[in-house]
Amino acid sequence: MTVQRVALIRHGETVANDAQLAYGRLESPLNDRGIAQVQATAQALKARGTDYHHIVSSPLGRALETAHLIADALGLQISVEADLVECDLGEWEGITYLEMHERGYAIKSIQDDHFRAHGGESPFEISERVKSAMLRLLGKHPGQNLILVGHGGAFANGLSALLGSGPRFGPKYLMHNAAITELTFEQEPTILALNDYDHLPHHLKNQSSRPDNAQQA
């Protein structure tokens, strides 16, 4: 079986991230720090030595903006996969990270794979959607190494389902903005790098703080 590599890239910091607002399906553009983060990530991908063949992005603007910056640096084409979209937060879209924490979004999602008091997607639904998208994309691009650009919550849930470890919410798979998580796929997926953002200089690391386990967008 041909070994394929997949790099998961969380989009750069957005206006909403900096304002500590929980955006799932809501749109928010990259801010200046987010753009610089992604530019640094593109150079880090070039330096890794992996020959990537194609970029697949979530349809949300912050992911597409990130994907285009990387594509320009690496000379790759982009396609869009709807199922890489961020989690649907339902009635809690746009509230603050602090409000998410006070309502128990993270802890209740960790305790219950089917938690959906917000009226959006449950961790189980998110994880199955993203896992299926990853596997489908591997089959669609046989023998190719892919860069998937998406979101913190969606990727964390999807990785938990893919690797079969722990709650579907996947708190241990959370990613910093513009971080790289890299996997190989042979008979079983193997993580080569998890939430790697060492390539970001100090001034490009997120400055805003948030309550523990607030992960959205």
Residue 101 burial by CB count (10 A; 0-12/13-18/19+): exposed, middle or buried? middle
CA 22 to CA 87: how far, in whole Å? 10
Sequence-distant (6+) residues with CB within 8 A of 22 are 89, 92, 93, 94, 95, 96, 97, 99, 100, 105, 214, 216, 217
User: What residues are annotated to the active site?
Assistant: 11, 86
Report the chain's C-alpha Rg in angstroms: 16
Total number of residues shown for the chain:
217
192 three-state secondary structure: strand
Q: How many CA atoms lie within 13 A of 46 on its CB side?
A: 14
8 Å CB contact between 98 and 119: no
CA 207 to CA 192: how far, in whole Å? 27
CA 59 to CA 81: how far, in whole Å? 7
8 Å CB contact between 65 and 29: yes
Sequence-distant (6+) residues with CB within 8 A of 116 are 90, 122, 125
